Structure formats: C-alpha cells, structure tokens
Amino acid sequence: MRVLVTGGAGFIGGAVVDRLAARGDDVVVLDSLAAHPEAPDLPDAVDLVVGDLNDEDAVDRAVAGVDAVCHQAARVGLGVDFDDVTGYVADNDAGTAALLRALWRRGFTGRLVVASSMVVYGEGRYRCPDHGDVRAAPRRRADLDAGRFEPRCHRCGTALAWAPVTEDAPLDPRNVYAATKVHTEHLASLYGRESGARVCALRYHNVYGPRMPRDTPYAGVASIFRSALEHGTAPRVFEDGAQVRDFVHVHDVARANLLALDSPWEGACNIASGEPHSIADMARALAAAHPGAPEPVVTGEYRLGDVRHVVAAPDLAADALGFRAETAFADGMRAFARDPLR
C-alpha cells in the first residue's frame, strides 16, 4: 500500500512513518521541514516531498498514486495568544482544504485518516450529584483569579465531578487550535461524503514520547516540564495541579493510526490510554525520574483557553479499531524522562 503521511517528519507523523516503513508499506512524506532545524530522521526508503499544504505543486506531487492518506500536519498547542489566529487557520484550515482539493482533483476514494484532538470537546464531561450530566460553562477570569478552578453546576452551585467523555459529546472548541481541529474533522467528513472515500478522525489525548518538540510555546506540557527539569529548574504547574488528563504514548498513537488505516470503520475515535492522571501527577513522575531534581511548584497561574478536566472513554476505539494502549503511565513517563526530544 502506498501511503501519504502529511507532517511525516514531525513528532506523531514520524512515529507513524516508522511503523509503516517497518511493515513494508510504500511511504510518501509531505512536510515543510519548518519545524526541523536539522535533517529529518526518516527511513531510507521514504519518498520525501518538501513543501507545506498550501504549496499546490508539492501537494499534487505528494498525492500522486497514493492508496491511503494519514493527515498529521498541523500547527499544534495553544500558541502565544489570539494574534496566532491567522497562522493556525492558514496551516490547519486552509492547509486541510488544499490537501482535500488535491485529492478531489485526483479522484481519490481510498482511506483517509485525519489527526484530531480531545480539544474539540472543550471541557470534558461533568456530573452533578443532584442533576446528572451538566455542561460546564466557559471559565471566567474572576473565578480563576480567585483560585476557583473547579466548574460548578449552573443549577445548584455544587462542584462537578469529571466523567469520561464519549465521541458523541457536543463539540465545544474553546481556543483557536481547537476550532481548527473541529473544522479539519468537518472538512474531511464532507470530503468522504462527496467522494465516497472512507474517513476516520482520531481524537488524540495528551500525546508524549520520543522526538516530542521542546522549548516552544507550541510544545506539550510534558515536554515543557521535562525541559525545565533538564535545566535544573522546577516544573511550574498551573492552577492547583489537579487538572485531569489522559496521557497516551506516541508509540500507541502511531499503532492506532495503522489500525485505522487498515480498518473500514468511519467516524471519530478517542485515542487515549484509559489511565487518567492529574497534571501534578505527571510533573511528579518526571521529577522522580531525575534524581536530585527540584520538586514541581504549583503556581496558581492559568490560561483562559485551557480546560479543567478532559478524560477519554476509550471503548469505541477498542471496539471499532481494536486499539488498546499498551504503555502504562509509570513506564512511559520513566522512559520519557530520557527520551530524545526535537
């Protein structure tokens, strides 16, 4: 099978490419290399097309003759502030549209797997002991400034308890990156409807592992904490550290992509470990793997575009794709403390 991996020189895309090449697939990578100051570490047999998704000639060359597409290219993270909006829309919205247009012109009807994110949900699922499932209201600066981080029931004021979020939850993007990921899913789904291509969107939860980008405002929190520890400084944990996430290893995510490429199933799936932990848990696990490192510091700082808790229900991915994460949190964090970063 000839597979195009957009963003295949990057963190998750590179892990997907390694697995595809190892099993003998014919792999094409489309990547601008803008995030790679050094030459990308790609298997020798990979056909590399250098260009971004808005480079029509590069995209046309990349899609020629492919049987399947794994769309990983994107600008990720919360960025710096809203001034990043045009960059996110150009890279993620317009870039996805340009890829789909090239596929349409080629008459592509094969398998399309797109990288999405848990950020499409906004806040996760919450339950009130008296009123059942309750949607968390948008966060207010006044509450956050006062250290009131937990969402409360709009009917009775009781603090809400998080629950696993399923794929049928309403989409509620609460930052620019999240909005572009919702649009990516919608554009891909429309392409499938119009073309007959089979489309699957993988909603990644907090991915970590080797070759993760470092020392950038677009990096993930695990990478930021690890970089701090390597410099001998304490990881700065925002809010009270009790925010709950699902940390899933990049090798598991890559395996999920191959399962999705091989599956006829269509729709969106959470890709998660099924082992939720707090941000403070993660910071402490990384600090423990650095003997003599300073303990994490809980700062009370916040970012308005963050959400409090978002934890996946992993059942659909298991049923539809046969995906179950294999890397335990403790083992993955211990290894990540020494993994090479990009």
Residues belonging to the active site: 177
**Rounded Cα distance, 156 and 284, in Å:** 35
189, 158, 154: which is closest to 171 by C-alpha?
A: 189
DSSP secondary structure, 227-284, as one string: HHHHTT---EE-TTS--EEEEEEHHHHHHHHHHHHH----EEEEE--S-EEEHHHHHH
Do 167 and 269 meet the contact criterion of CB atoms below 8 Å apart? yes
Q: In what order do the strands lie in the sheet with 244-249?
A: 206-208, 244-249, 276-278
SS3 236: strand
Q: Beta-carbon neighbour count of residue 86 at 10 Å?
A: 11
111-117/198-204 β-pairing:
parallel
Q: Count of alpha carbons within 13 Å of 83, Cβ hemisphere only? A: 2
Token pair 């949190």 is found at 329
State both tokens at 132: 């059942």
Over the Cα atoms of the chain, what is R_g?
Answer: 20
